[in-house]
Amino acid sequence: MTTSYRHPGVVLTDHRFTVPLDHADPAGERIELYAREAVASARAGENLPWLLYLEGGPGFGARRFIGRQAWLGRALQEFRVLLLDQRGTGLSTPANRQTLPTRGGPERQAAYLTHFRADSIVRDCETIRPQLTGGAPWTVLGQSFGGFCATHYLCAAPEGLDTVLITGGLPSLDATADEVYRAAYPRVARKVEAHYARYPQDIARARRIAEHLAEHRPVLPTGYTLTPEAFQSLGILLGGSDGSHRLNHLLENAFVRTPAGPALSDAFQEDVTAALSFAGHPLYALHHEPIYAQDGRPTEWAAERVRGEFARFDAATTLAGETPLYFSGESIHPWHFDCDPALRPLRETAELLAAHRDWPALYDPVRLAANEVPVAAAVYHDDMYVDRDHSLRTARTIRGLRTWVTDEFEHDGVRAGGPRVLDRLLMLARGEN
């Protein structure tokens, strides 16, 4: 049963599908997927081609647009759009600290979560596509991790694709998790240095906050333990178009005077909780390193191990000296599962996933070299989340792919740029530019 309703200029329809948990066992357990269809009000009765949007992450449900925000307005000019909550996210069958214990203990939880990578997501897409399109191929727009999924789609089921558009999400085809993070830390350092150049007053602010946290280890009202390392992870903001400004606004409001002396302000604690909590997207923490695993080796907390090669990111070393505190970026560490109450019950499950070895390969360079699907990709010149050089090597492998390398946008360009990014990629894919 579907339900339709309206936003300004848009008709929305809720869809629910059931798919196998394990596509290799189609008669086994099934899970539910939720997706929201969007079509321009004036074209709701037309037989339009479909565009499937795959959100970034992993672990985030599809963005909830209001009306024709960001790129959606451009897409609705010619497509019927499907905003899919990938398995385990949004309104699809959830996977979090509340639901995973129904599977059993950590071993069963980890085994269940091995079915939540890009390969399963693409099989989901191919399961629901005929139900919506009547069998016709569709255009896929993949943002960030959604682009990783789209790249796997080109390998696994190109017959289901009319066109592929990727924004900030061309993955390396063969880099290990260690290599991904070894390339990432210098990019994060550049973003931190650019932030301090823009807001030099934040150098002292960040040190003062980190010193306070090292001394007091406060527990926020939600139960989140704010350590210096957790505070450093606010650097994830620096990969977005407005992230440096958001970080500055957060830091300027850190302390208030109380009868007992300086204390973290309630406003700061609330903003930090919103920025750092994984309550709404725990799969991001559980699956962030497995998205890079495909060489038969466990990831074994790669970001934490590689971080040891970059001394400037060590909070204790920084606080013992006089150098600026370096924020970290898009990386998950064991201490996330100690600090965040949404993750603490999943610590052992996370350890088992970090030790897992049998991840299947996600990409097939031979098939990509023979690709016949029109593909266009936006590669952001200094993307903090996805390495530019890794992306360009992959672009050279995918036959016919056209790239747009730009420093006009950060990683969130497809959202921050309104219709411009999608419009440019459509032109590239169609040979109009």
The pLDDT assigned to 3 comes to 85
The pLDDT assigned to 316 comes to 95
Q: Which residues are catalytic?
A: 144, 358, 411
Q: ∠ CA(87), CA(116), CA(280), 5° rounding?
A: 55
Integer Cα distance of 213 and 230 in angstroms: 10
The pLDDT assigned to 295 comes to 85
Give backbone dihedrals phi and psi of 38, rounded to 5 degrees, phi first. -130, 135
Task: Kindly give the confidence (pLDDT) of every residue in the chain, 433 residues in length, as a single tens digit, with 9 standing for 90 and above.
Answer: 678 999 999 999 999 999 999 999 999 999 999 999 999 999 999 999 999 999 999 999 999 999 999 999 999 999 999 999 999 999 999 999 999 999 999 999 999 999 999 999 999 999 999 999 999 999 999 999 999 999 999 999 999 999 999 999 999 999 999 999 999 999 999 999 999 999 999 999 999 999 999 999 999 999 999 999 999 999 999 999 999 999 999 999 999 999 999 999 999 999 999 999 999 999 999 999 999 998 889 999 999 999 999 999 999 999 999 999 999 999 999 999 999 999 999 999 999 999 999 999 999 999 999 999 999 999 999 999 999 999 999 999 999 999 999 999 999 999 999 899 999 999 999 999 7
Integer Cα distance of 93 and 113 in angstroms: 12
Q: pLDDT tens digit string along 71-107?
A: 999 999 999 999 999 999 999 999 999 999 999 999 9
Residue 264 has a CB neighbour count (10 Å cut-off) of 20
Query: What single letter denotes the amino acid at residue 108?
Result: R
Q: What tokens does 185 get?
A: 């830390």
The pLDDT assigned to 1 comes to 62
The pLDDT assigned to 205 comes to 98
Domains of the chain as residue ranges with CATH: 3-174+363-429 (3.40.50.1820), 177-355 (no CATH)
Q: pLDDT tens digit string along 298-349?
A: 999 999 999 999 999 999 999 999 999 999 999 999 999 999 999 999 999 9
